[in-house]
Amino acid sequence: MGLRSVGFWLLATAVPLVLSAPRASESDLHFQPEDIVTRDVCILGGGSTGTYAAIRLRDKGQDVAVVEPKDRLGGHAETEYFADGQYMNYGVRGFFNDQVTRDYLARLDVDYKPLLPATLATDYVNFKTGQVVPPSFNILTTVVAATLYRLSIEKFDYLKDGLYNLPEPVPDELLQPFGEFVKSHLLHENALGLVFLFASSTGNMLEMPLLYVLQTFGIAHVDALLTGYITPTDGVAALYRKAVDAIGRENIMFESTAAEVTRTSDSGVSIVVHNHSTGRRTLVKAKKLLVAFPPTMANMRPFELDSAEAELLQKFHWQSYFGAIVNNTGIPTGRNVVNRDPFEPYSLPVPPFQVQLTDAGVPGYLLSKLVADADFTAQDARDFILSSIHRMNGTYPIEEPEITALADHTPLSMTVPVEDVRAGFYRKLYALQGQHNTWYTGYAFCSDMSSLLWAYADTIVDRMMA
């Protein structure tokens, strides 16, 4: 995914599927020849990894069909463009400055620039009361804090690629709450504040197993922070506009979802695709299927899952996540407002919470990032964001705040219980690759950072072609 809030927000690929019921067999649907599409690979989900994989497969001579519920590619890559030419990325904001990213941007002829904060001026406010609280994190100590934190996690270098390459037995320390790791390693408050800025999507970070905090802000993430990030010059959405041309618009089925998926060991896969804008149904016949959305049980309903698949996929839990743009707040331009709750350990807020309000360089507008439990709705998010800002009246001359854009990136931070991790969940999950001509990519299998996801997608594409 890319980078989110303070921040640098991270994208990844994810879109829930809208299903039709009851099931209908292919023979019942009587598809006309013009409603049948034949491809080497069908990709479900045109977010970050689905798009990347489609381009890599095309470059290897494969014919693809991409099924994408939205009217655009990019998943969590949300960009708002203003009439004066300015823009705000309110989903993914940038990427690791590594070879994978640079090669991808070069492939699409996308110019890029360093991703820098618009301001370092920061206020610390308890969003529950709207009152200013003492600072608990000094952004100027970022390099020192990041270095000390990296030293404390160095022994977990087998996770540095963002994969769940876990030894067996899984070390108990990885499965203990992150708060226990903080105590045993005497992590400085500055280091903890830094980790929270990037790992806040885990929800109650101190209670989350260390494994999942490292998957959100581990060795690779710290190294990228110290190196610096990059972002497309014309907004992250520009990358995905170029991607449409690279894949071929005729190979992308926008505003569409899979209604039925049939997989056979000898004849490949058949996917009945429903366009929820036109009502048209298309039969896609492919040799292989790549699932590039989060494999929740709800998303996988079009599939006839076998017992091994169902047993694994039903174990996932996740957080709700929303990105928003807010204006008319009355908060002075050139200031970030970070949420701190002095009544919680280390002053770290617990769900539901806004991480902070970020000045991204467009006067009058702020970015918001909200993390909540899985059942939080978009309306809940709107109400929560606005009420939090209204409580700051008196601290700031609050006006009439308005949410001008809201993106729902649920589900995020997909996890399973520690007893399942200990029992080999991820080894079993990776063993699903290639079964029933079905392959998987995305942040259920890898850290939710675009550069790491793309690198993992490369390995899956190579295996699909082997």
Same domain for 33 and 178: no
pLDDT score of 141: 73
- Can you tell me the distance from the alpha carbon of 283 to that of 286, in angstroms, rounded to the nearest whole number? 10
- Can you tell me the distance from the alpha carbon of 177 to that of 210, in angstroms, rounded to the nearest whole number? 6
Answer yes or no: is 288 within a domain: yes
> What pairs with residue 101 in β-bridges?
none
User: What is the CA angle 107-111-115, rounded to 5?
Assistant: 120
- Can you tell me the distance from the alpha carbon of 73 to that of 252, in angstroms, rounded to the nearest whole number? 9
Same domain for 267 and 285: yes
The model carries a pTM of 0.92
pLDDT score of 140: 55
pLDDT score of 281: 97
Backbone angles phi, psi at 456, to 5 degrees: -65, -40
CATH number of the domain that 265 lies in? 3.50.50.60
Instruction: Tell which of 184, 214, 229 closes a domain.
Output: 229
Q: By CB neighbour count within 10 A (0-12 exposed, 13-18 middle, 19+ buried), where does 389 fall? A: buried
Answer yes or no: is 363 within a domain: no
Determine how many CB atoms are found less than 10 A away from the CB of residue 132.
15
Q: Specify whether the backbone of 434 is left (phi greater than 0), alpha (psi in -120 to 50) or beta.
A: left
Same domain for 171 and 59: no
Q: Any idea what DSSP says for residue 209?
A: B
Interval 260-298: pLDDT, tens? 999 987 889 999 999 999 999 999 999 999 999 999 999
Mean pLDDT of the chain: 93
CB-based contacts of 53: which residues, under 8 Å, 6+ apart?
Answer: 43, 290, 292, 441, 457, 460, 461
User: What is the CA angle 251-445-266, rounded to 5?
Assistant: 55
Answer yes or no: is 310 within a domain: yes
Number of structural domains found in the chain:
2
* Residue 153 · residue 219 · CB < 8 Å: yes
pLDDT score of 460: 99
pLDDT score of 367: 98
* Residue 449 · residue 222 · CB < 8 Å: no
Backbone angles phi, psi at 239, to 5 degrees: -60, -45
Instruction: Tell which of 229, 256, 283 closes a domain.
Output: 229
Q: Which residues of the chain have pLDDT under 50?
A: 4-28
Interval 315-340: pLDDT, tens? 999 999 999 999 999 999 999 999 99
* Residue 131 · residue 339 · CB < 8 Å: no
What is the Cβ-side half-sphere exposure of residue 76, based on CA atoms within 13 angstroms?
Answer: 35
Q: By CB neighbour count within 10 A (0-12 exposed, 13-18 middle, 19+ buried), where does 98 fall? A: middle
> Which domain, by its residues, includes 203?
139-229
Backbone angles phi, psi at 340, to 5 degrees: -135, 135
Answer yes or no: is 111 within a domain: no
pLDDT score of 144: 86
pLDDT score of 90: 97
- Can you tell me the distance from the alpha carbon of 342 to that of 339, in angstroms, rounded to the nearest whole number? 10
Answer yes or no: is 186 within a domain: yes
Backbone angles phi, psi at 372, to 5 degrees: -150, 175
pLDDT score of 2: 57
Answer yes or no: is 385 within a domain: no
Determine how many CB atoms are found less than 10 A away from the CB of residue 304.
14
Q: Record the tokens describing residue 27, joined without a space.
A: 């023979």
Same domain for 204 and 148: yes
